[in-house]
Every structure is written in C-alpha cells, then in structure tokens.
Amino acid sequence: MDWINAIIQGALLGGLYAMFAAGLSLIFGVMRLVNIAHGDLIVLSAYVALTTSVGLGLNPLLALVIVVPVMAGFGYALQRLVLNRTMGDDLLPPLLVTFGLSIIIQNALLMGYSADPQKLQAGPIETASVNLGPITLGVMPVMVFAIAVAVIAGLQWMFYRTALGRAFRATSDRQDIAQLMGLNRAHVFGLAMALSLAVTAIAGVFLGIRTSFDPAAGASRLIFGFEAVIIGGLGNLWGTLWGGIILGVAQTLGAKINPGYQILAGHIVFLLILAVRPRGLFPRMDG
Amino acid sequence: MPDPIISIQGLDAHYGDFQALYGVDLAVEPGQVVAVIGANGAGKTTLMRSISGLLKNKADAIRWQGRPIGALRADQIAALGIALVPEGRLLFPSLSVEENLIIGGQLGRKGPWNLARIYQLFPILQERRNVPATALSGGQQQMVAIGRALMSNPELLMMDEISLGLAPVVIKSIYEALPDIVGEGLSAIVVEQDIAKALSVSSHVVCLQEGRVSLTGGSGELSRDEISKAYFGV
Ligand SMILES: Nc1ncnc2c1ncn2[C@@H]1O[C@H](COP(=O)(O)OP(=O)(O)OP(=O)(O)O)[C@@H](O)[C@H]1O
Ligand SMILES: [Mg+2]
C-alpha cells in the first residue's frame, strides 16, 4: 500500500512539474527560444506572491489574481524590450541572454530577500486531506494536479481552437510568411512570453506553498521542467503532462527506496527514456 | 495616365555584401496587371520580398498611393493591402487548409473575398478543408497559397512563379481563375519565367536581368527579339 501511495503522490507532484514544463515548452514551440531563466522566473513568481500575500494580507492562493497578470506583463515587456533584440537564425544569443537574466534574477532576489528560505502560508488547506479507503490524499496536491490538467487543457484549446493559437502555430512554422499575414512577430513573441510567464506564475505560487524556496532554487526547477518536456516529447502538451507525472513518480519511488535517491531517480528515468526514445514518449503527431 | 497605386524608384537590394537589385523602377496603375520576367537569379523574388517588406529598403524607394512605405515592416505592408503569393507556396504545415485561408484574412480588411468565395473559385479546397495544408498536391497547395493571399482582400496582389513545378493542366486551371481574380478591380504583379504566359495575362512587362531592369513596355508591343535579348542578355 505504501508503494501505491508513493506512486499516487508522485503522479500528483507531476502536475506541478508539468506546469514548470508547459511555459518552457510554449516559448520553445513558438519562437525556438530556450529560456535558461525559466526556473528563476518560477522562483521570482513565488517571491512576488510572498510580497503580495504578506503586504496585502492575502492568502497566496488569492494572490494569484495579482501575481499572474504581473508576471504576464513582465514577460511581455521582457520579450519586447530585451529578448526580441536577440532573436534571429542563431539560437545562441537568446540562450546567453536568458542565462544572464537567470543570474540577474538570482542576485536581485538575494539582495531583496536575503538567502533565507521562505515559504508561502496558505493556511489549513495545506494540511487538509481526504481518506479514500487506505489511501490518504492531500487536498493541496490534488488541487495542484487538477489545476495543472486545466492549464494544459486550456493551452491545448488556445493552441488549436483560437486565433491566437493559429498565430502562434503559423509563426512557429514560418516567421517571415506569418508576417505577410499581418502578424507583427515582435508582438506575437511578446504574447507567447506573457502566456508562458502566466503559467509560470501559477507554478511558482504552488511551488512556494508546497516547499520552502530561496533565491537559488530555480536551477533544479529548470531541470525538472526540461526533463518533463523531453520525456513527454517536444511540442506535445499532453505529453508534457505525462512527462511531469513520470518524473514525479520516479522521484517519489526513488525517495521511498532511500530519501537521498529522490532527485537521482528522476534523472535516471529521464536518461533511460532519452536513450530508448530520443524524441520522447509522445513526439508531436501533426505537421 | 492615372496615378500609380505603387511606384518603385531606384530600388536597391542586398544580401549581406551581395547586391541583388540595382536601381529598379516599376509602377503599377490601378487595375493593371504587370508581368515581371527574367532568367533564374535575375532578382524577381528579391523584388517581391523588397516590396512586401521582408527585405529592408529606403523609405522613399517604394511609394504606395504616393506615400513612402519602403521602410515599413512586412505586417504593416500587408495591412495596407499588399499581398504576396510567395515562390514555393510556403504554406503553414501546422495549419489545416481552412486555417491557412483564415489566417490570410486575419487582418479583417473589407472586400469581396471570404472563405465562401475562395471555395467557389477552388471547389476542391472545400472538400479538403480539414487536412493539413501540406498534405495536398502541389497544384492544390498553390490554390491555397493564392486563396490565402486573396483572403486579405488586397489592392495589390503579387504572385511569384505560381506555375513553378506544376503540371501544365494544373497551370492552365490556375491561370483560368486569374481573370475572375483581377476582374475584382485589384492590381497585380505576376512573376513568371514562361514569357508567353506572362505576356498573355499582363498589359505591361518589366524584364529583369542580373538585378537591373533590362526592358519595359506594353505586353502587346514588344517583339520576341527585344524580349529574348533583354531576358538572356545576348
Ligand atoms: N537569401 C539569399 N542570400 C544570398 N543571396 C541570395 C539570397 N536569395 C537570393 N540570392 C541571390 O540574389 C540573386 C537574385 O535571386 P532571386 O531569388 O531574386 O532571383 P529570381 O529571379 O527570383 O530567380 P528564380 O527564377 O530562380 O526564382 C541571385 O543571384 C541569388 O543567388
Ligand atoms: Mg524567384
């Protein structure tokens, strides 16, 4: 029963990883930008939530109403004012700039908040649980997983059913021809980054409720996000959810064997899948 | 003579250090079809890319209804009512046939063209509207590319070698649709390597040779000799 419990906890944790991954996947898909600062942006979101929830006396879950638009606006500005200047045929300049951004965010957080670990306090809901026979489910993990599914479903719908999604796919296919359709590439990229950071904001708030965080916590979140994207198959959003679940289950099973194996088990499963299926478990079918 | 809808004067174009166009002049009057001909590498596609804003130009090298537009971005050019059917079709592979057409109309310019009219012009596209655009045959893809450009209700339609790589019967059927298209009062620039085809659809011809205009004149007035001299440079 312990093992089944661990698998379920891992799967639920996978929802959080899928949200780390979805924002990463989105901007890579639309503009081939590998955002090294993604993990730090997740942590930045947690700090923005900390400041709003403490400053305004809000529950961090309610602070989402502020954190999501703030991060989305920041994403749009970041893309238009900084990253768009580096975009071109060469993948390297934007990669280096986001690497620099990662360092800037970490140091700014260190200056503003010190290196002490922080946590978002969401109140009694954090420890609430429901019993399903022998299995006990935390309300928070179930809620996070449900939100992750909703976020992925929402992104999927946006991508394949809306004008914005059509613009994203067209720009991803052929940037120059998309411009001939009257799409301003700089604006489309800005919207993609805004959406990416909106998802990141949600992920950051739930990360901060789940565990404590400090300014250096971004790197491992970036890795988890990357691993979920690659396991699931690049460009497949539902695959990304599966990637997150597999990573989460691997980590909790690893921790069950030996608490020190948690992270290692995730990396090993990632490498095994990469060795067997280099394009991920669910490579994109269409196009 | 009526004022030209678009006039190009002294247009240069470069790819890095390589100069592809030298002082090209061209004007299109409202309702006129101008053919641009020239051998491989003459600079026809470069001219189309310059006009559509994909290559940067000096602002006053290109004037649209008198207004300098050479320095605008491609999406701003499109919003003016200038549409390009690019060489090689270049459809969006992730989009269905219908989505390719819809995105062509996403600027929301008013005019006679909409999905229903495109399907009337090319009925086969309606049958296949939900398949990925690149799953179609070459000729059908070319119809999508033309439809996609028309969906923006352009005032100037530019078509770059729409017959390239297509079977003669397909070319014939596409060119048969042309009178319907320009009959709507729009102006057009048609790029063709096939001289006879170019002369038959246009009222005015511009011949490019190694990036320079080597000949211009009325489509009915130029002799074969003049054209082949301007075309091949012999
Ligand atoms: N992206 C590019 N980079 C460098 N040079 C280019 C590029 N595109 C075209 N050229 C060069 O510019 C010149 C004009 O090319 P362009 O494609 O405009 O010719 P074209 O008349 O359209 O030829 P074709 O009939 O083969 O389509 C050629 O010498 C070509 O090699
Ligand atoms: Mg060409």
A269 found inside a domain: yes
Cβ–Cβ of B54/A179 closer than 8 Å? yes
Place A286 in a pLDDT band, splitting at 50, 70 and 90: very low
Listed by number, the residues of chain A in 168-187 with a beta carbon closer than 8 Å to a beta carbon of chain B are 169-170, 172-174, 176-185
* Helix pair angle (A218-232, A92-113), 10° resolution: 140
Chain B residue closest in CA terms to A168? B94
pLDDT tens string, chain B, 234 residues long: the values are: 678 999 999 999 999 999 999 999 999 999 999 999 999 999 999 999 999 999 999 999 999 999 999 999 999 999 999 999 999 999 999 999 999 999 999 999 999 999 999 999 999 999 999 999 999 999 999 999 999 999 999 999 999 999 887 888 878 877 887 887 887 788 999 998 888 888 988 999 999 999 999 999 999 888 888 888 888 876
Domains contained in chain A, number: 1
* Helix pair angle (B97-104, A163-173), 10° resolution: 100
A281 found inside a domain: no
| Cα A62 to Cα A66: distance, rounded to the nearest angstrom | 8
Cβ–Cβ of A179/B53 closer than 8 Å? yes
A284 found inside a domain: no
Residue B1: the pLDDT is 67
- Chain B: residues touching A (Cβ < 8 Å): 52-54, 73-75, 78-79, 83-84, 86, 90, 92-95, 99, 102-104, 106-107, 132, 148, 152
Instruction: Looking at chain A, list the stretches that DSSP marks H as alpha helix, in order from N- to C-terminal side.
Output: 2-31, 38-56, 60-81, 92-113, 139-161, 163-173, 175-180, 185-210, 218-232, 237-257, 262-276
B6-232 has CATH 3.40.50.300 classification: yes
Evaluate whether ipTM surpasses 0.95. no
Residue closest via CA to ligand 1's atom 30 equals: B41
| Cα A232 to Cα A273: distance, rounded to the nearest angstrom | 10
Residue A287: the pLDDT is 33
A287 found inside a domain: no
Best mutation target, A181, A236, A237, A284, to test chain B (most B CBs within 10 A): A181
Q: Is B31 left (phi over 0), alpha (psi -120 to 50) or beta?
A: left
Distance B194 CA to ligand 2 centre (A): 13
How many contacts does A have with B, using Cβ atoms within 8 A?
67
| Cα A51 to Cα A57: distance, rounded to the nearest angstrom | 9
Distance A178 CA to ligand 1 centre (A): 21
Q: Measured from the CB, is residue B18 less than 6 Å from ligand 1?
A: yes
Enclosing domain of residue A151 = 2-276
Q: Measured from the CB, is residue B41 less than 6 Å from ligand 1?
A: yes
Task: Sort out which chain B residues have CB atoms less than 8 A from A172's CB and list them.
Answer: 94
CATH number of the domain bearing residue A222? 1.10.3470
| Cα A12 to Cα A15: distance, rounded to the nearest angstrom | 5
